[in-house]
Amino acid sequence: MEFLKGEIENIPLPDNSVDVVISNCVISLSTDKDRVLQEVFRVLKPRGRFAVSDVVTRGEIAPEIRKSVLLWVGCVAGALDEAEYRSKLASAGFEHIEIEPTRIYRAEDAREFLSGHNIDVDALAPQVEGKFMSAFVRAVKPSAEVPCHSPHL
């Protein structure tokens, strides 16, 4: 086994060299998610799999929540909306995109995490209730296309 040090926006591996990319709450922390997905696509072999666990959102999220440093630490503020996640994966070239919620968070889930940080969870509740979820995000890099050349007679 070999360990490489690098950044997810610049993966230190050659093109088409990886069978599967996995991560747990890493992509939501990147400020350049398009670049991350392009890099993952680049290093995956044809038919390679993208299989991550990440925080994903549903619906409008207030800007003050997105700006909270504390929520960035919890992988929440940088989370992509599920439709945007699908769109970014498709734009990078992926197909067979699936987002499977594993847990939908309620305001009560945030109470313990946010307690002691001068955040009024009750005031925040309507803005976050059911809008954040942990999810498995899966996609596949398509097979390499072989150009079809017809002989000229």
**DSSP-assigned letter for residue 145:** P
Whether residue 11 lies inside any domain: the answer is no
Q: Which domain holds residue 117?
A: 18-139
Cα–Cα distance for residue pair 34/149, rounded to 1 Å: 34
**Residue 144's pLDDT is what?**
73
Token pair, residue 76, equals 């929440």
Asked if the model's pLDDT at residue 139 lies above 60, the reply is yes
**Residue 2's pLDDT is what?**
80
Whether residue 61 lies inside any domain: the answer is yes
Rounded to whole angstroms, the maximal C-alpha distance in the chain is 79
Q: How many domains does the chain have?
A: 1
Partners of residue 80 on adjacent β-strands: 56
**DSSP-assigned letter for residue 151:** P
Whether residue 33 lies inside any domain: the answer is yes
- Write down the pTM of the prediction: 0.81
pLDDT digits (tens, 9 = 90+) for 2-60: 888 889 999 999 999 999 999 998 898 898 999 999 999 999 999 999 999 998 988 88
Please report, for residues 25, 64, 67, the alpha-carbon distance to residue 136 in angstroms, rounded to integers and kept in the order given. 10, 26, 25
Asked if the model's pLDDT at residue 103 lies above 70, the reply is yes
